Each structure stands twice: as structure tokens, then as C-alpha cells.
Structure 1
């Protein structure tokens, strides 16, 4: 088996949880698809990310074994009435509103939850080609990288780049806001940017983060805030900084609109992000933001 397939299997296994109530099956045959057979997942959004990776894994494997069955992979939720935990009938699998929760506060767990939520949002929004392109990038990375944790970070970077490339700002905002809805954060905060900054530090997305007070121009109807990131886990791509997890977290914490302008500048410690909220338009810097020179 090739190295990429091994890494995709490791990624799927990293999403799994022994106590999860979601699992994957083939909608037509009821089979549990390899390599996710026997695995369970904490949330439907996380399972949805595993389903996408499983489908691509099997597509890649089919190049070696043309007789490998083609499965329509769906997410199944175990019901209290289920007697056989290895299968579910048409009446038992549930397309319920996904909620991504869990006590694991590591960087990789955070990234998995963001990736799963965005995959879910892309699927519900009908952007299947973008989903496929993101996973294709993942396979390319898997040929070069051996660390599953690093692969997850690269997947998040590719996801941000693909959204920025393929979707106009208004549609990016809609997808990221929808992804935030999948996360069901602990509580909506009075200061969503401040709460998101705290989340980033807690989960190790940044080593340190500071923010300025809000600057308000009442006459022009403009507010802006600057956030400084030190030791940011995601790397710049094509002179743009992936800020997808920051925006999703801000939305999840109660930010009710997208910024109209996003500025990103390099600093000695990392990055300085300025979000401007004006009266019209949506920033070109949502999934990823252009770096000022």
C-alpha cells in the first residue's frame, strides 16, 4: 500500500472516538466501508470529514483493485433502539443537525473540528467539487509528509486556499458562517473576537495573542480591531495568510457579520490582523487574507 493511503487511514483513525455514536455505512448495501469499518465518531460533522476521506481513500485504492465495490457512504447515528451496532436501517440513520463538541483541547483536535464543520457546510451548500479538490490537495501532501498532525494542518491551509480561490467573498462568508453553526460553541460571547482569541490560545493555534481596543468612527459607521498573533500554526500560502479557523471561531462566538476589509501584515513575532467593519461589502480576506507588502 502506498504511503499516501497509509496517511489517509491515520487521519481517519485520528478522527475516531471510542465513545462516539456516529459511524459510516454504505447507503445501498449497509456495509461498513474500509478503512472506517469499526470506527465511531463523536459528531456528525467529524464523521462527515471521515466520510470524505474514506471516499477518496477508496477511490485511490480502486486504482490498484478495480473490483473494489463503489459505496454511497453516509453518516449513521446510533439510536437507542438499535440492537445491532454494526448496521442501521433506513429508519435509524439520522441526518440530524450536527454538533461538534468534546473535551480534547489540543491543536489537532481543534483543527479536525474546524475541517469537519467546513466539509459539512460545503456539502450542505452543494460545493462538492470544492470538497473533492481539497481532498486531492490532501493526497498530494500525503505523498510528502509522514506526520498525521502536520497533514491536518496542511489540509486546513489547503482548505482556506481553495475557498479563497473558488468562492467570491459573499459566498465564503456564507459557508464559514454555516460551518460555525456546526460547532455549537459553549456560549455566544458579548465580545466574540476576544472570545475567539482566547479559544485560539487555549487550543494552541497560536502561542500568544493580543488585541487592541475597538476603534470606532461613529460619523462614518466604521469599527476596527487589530489582533496580533505570535507562533501561528498555519503558514502563508501564495502571499496570503489562512485565517479560516479564526473567522469560523469568531462567527461561532457570535460575530453577526463578516468584516468589510481585512489587513494582514508581518511582525517580528508573527502576524498583525486588522478587521474593519464598515457599512457595505464583504472582505476579500476571510478564508485567507492577502499579506500587505
Structure 2
């Protein structure tokens, strides 16, 4: 891996921020406060300038993986009166959710692209990015664009690499994928995180009644899945990369995907010591 990751840069900015700070970081040309400084405040100008430098690096790293990401000229300044209204700099709860969603999508994409490069799949990396750039022009909303990036990444990743190659790349990506560690099982931690960043709404996890040596299985139901899905398939990559971060030695398999009435999805997840790794990026529905 070369340079700092998006997650580490964002964590540095968050460590500098204070809820009651009098200074902020924004684009000097447009006044916009994009990710990763959407609603961050800082106690003094010097601290805000450090955050502006980190934000500039963040956006430069982001453009390596998403050439459509806009450029900003970050400056440190006192918080303008009435700040919090307008695209890209909302200080409302919705703005924070959008920032979390965007940051999560960026982290997934950057981790996978870096892993593709590190594992020697430069052609697949280029093919995925070409497919995204070709189809992204029609999308203007930043949240929709990030979700489209993840969906395109999952579909092309699945078509370009074998199951064994996917497992290898995602294991490498998961090692560099940032995220919190909270209480509960690895599976519930993953779905709580996806819920926090609004990738999913509600979820339910049921352990399989059948016990197999060296394998654990669960039935998972999720509502309000934010990623665009086909009528007969769903992208699973953001679920898998976060779960692999928590279960780095497990062989994961996602299968038996079904779309339920109301748009919910139900599928099986298994983690084993020596089983096959399948359904890591995109899974066809069974009916």
C-alpha cells in the first residue's frame, strides 16, 4: 500500500475536530464542505489548517479510484454565520448520515482497488473503473453516485475474477479496511455498521439449527438495502469486506438469496475453516 488510506486520513481529521469549535474547513471557491470535512469544527485556525491539509490529501487519494470526484481548494476559516444550509455542507443529522455513507463507500472502493493492484490484477482494476466511468455520467446525486460505484465495483469484480481470486483480493482489502469494533458477534457487528451508514435499514440474524464441525451458518434478512439490485440478484461485496475484516481466516459463503415481499432480502451466510468461498461480490437469487 502506498501513502495513507482514506480511513486513516478521515480518522486524523476526526481526531482534530471539536463539537464547539469556532473554525471549519471549506472550499475557498465554492463554500462547499464535502467529505471528509462535511460538518467538522475545530478549536483554532492552526488546527483547522492541519485538517485542510489532510482533506486535500484525502481528495487526491480519492481521485485515484474515482476520477469523477470533484476538486476543492480547502481553506481554514471561522465558521460562517448560518453555516449548515446547502449542498455539501449540511450540519443536520441527514448531512452526517450522508457523510458516513459516502465515507463508507469510498473506503470500500479504495480498499478493493488497492488490493487489486497489490495482488497483480491491474487489468481487472482498469476494466472496473472503465465500466464505472462509462455509466456514471447520468448520475448527479453524490449519494447515488457512491452507491453506483459500489454496485458497479461488485458486478465487474464478480465477472472479472474467479471465486478463489475474489477471496484472495478481498482478504487483502479487508486487512486495510477501516472500521469500528463493537460488542456482539462479528456478524451482528457488520450489520450494525451497515445500518449506521444507512446501507441497510433493519436486519435480523438467525443461527442455523444444523451444526456442522468447523462451520457456522446464519440466515440473514435485511430491509431497505441502499445498493441498486437486479430483480434476480444482489451485490454482496460491502457485506463481505466488513465481515472479512472481523473474520480474517474464515472461508465465507453467501448463498440462497431470495427477495421477499416488500423488497427485503434473505440469504444464508456461512463461515468455515476449509469450505468454498462463494457469493463474495454478487449473488444470483434462487427464487
Once residues 190 and 254 of structure 1 are traced to their aligned partners in structure 2, the CA distance between those partners, rounded to angstroms, is 13
Correspondence for 1:113 among 107, 110, 118: 107
C-alpha contact 1:188 1:254 (8 A) present in aligned 2: no
Aligned residue in 2 for 1:224:
217
More helix by share: 2
Taking the TM superposition and a 5 Å limit, the aligned residue runs for 1:125-164 are 125-164=119-158
Task: Tell me the CA shift for residue 234 of structure 1.
Answer: 0.9
User: What's the counterpart of residue 90 of structure 2?
Assistant: none
Per the alignment, residue 256 of structure 1 pairs with 249
1:50 and 2:67 matched: no
Number of matched residues?
218
**Consecutive unaligned residues in structure 1, runs of 5 or more:** 1-12, 24-38, 58-102
Q: Check 1:21–1:256 CA distance in 2 against 1; reply closer, same or farther (3 A cut).
A: farther
Distance 2:122 2:231 in 1: 24
- Following superposition of structure 1 onto structure 2, how do residues 230-241 of structure 1 map, counting pairs within 5 Å? 230-237=223-230, 239-241=232-234
Whole-Å Cα distance in 2 between the matches of residues 104 and 248 of structure 1? 20
- Select 1:212's aligned residue among 182, 194, 206: 206
Residue 4 of structure 2 corresponds to none
The answer to whether the Cα contact below 8 Å between 1:214 and 1:225 also exists between their aligned partners in 2 is: yes
Query: How big is the shift at 1:279?
Result: 6.1
Which whole-Å deviations, capped at 9, do the CAs of 1:54-79 have from their partners, x for residues lacking one? 4x89xxxxxxxxxxxxxxxxxxxxxx
Q: Give 3-state SS (helix, strand or coil) of 1:151's partner.
A: helix
Q: Which digits, 9 at most, give the CA deviation of each residue in 1:184-230, with x for residues without a partner?
A: 43338662111101101111011111111344424x65431011110
Structure 1, 111-120 or 277-286: larger mean CA deviation? 277-286
Contact 2:221 2:267 in 1 (8 A): yes
Give the TM-score of the pair, scaled to structure 2.
Answer: 0.66
Q: Distance in 2 between matches of 1:117 and 1:214?
A: 31
Q: In 2, Cα distance between the equivalents of 1:15 and 1:259?
A: 32
Structure 2 unmatched ranges of 5 or more? 1-32, 38-47, 70-96
Question: Displacement, 1:258?
Answer: 2.5
Distance 1:291 1:132 in 2: 28
Q: Are the counterparts in 2 of residues 164 and 288 from structure 1 also a CA contact under 8 Å?
A: yes
* Aligned residues: CA RMSD: 3.1
Moved more, 263-272 or 185-194: 185-194
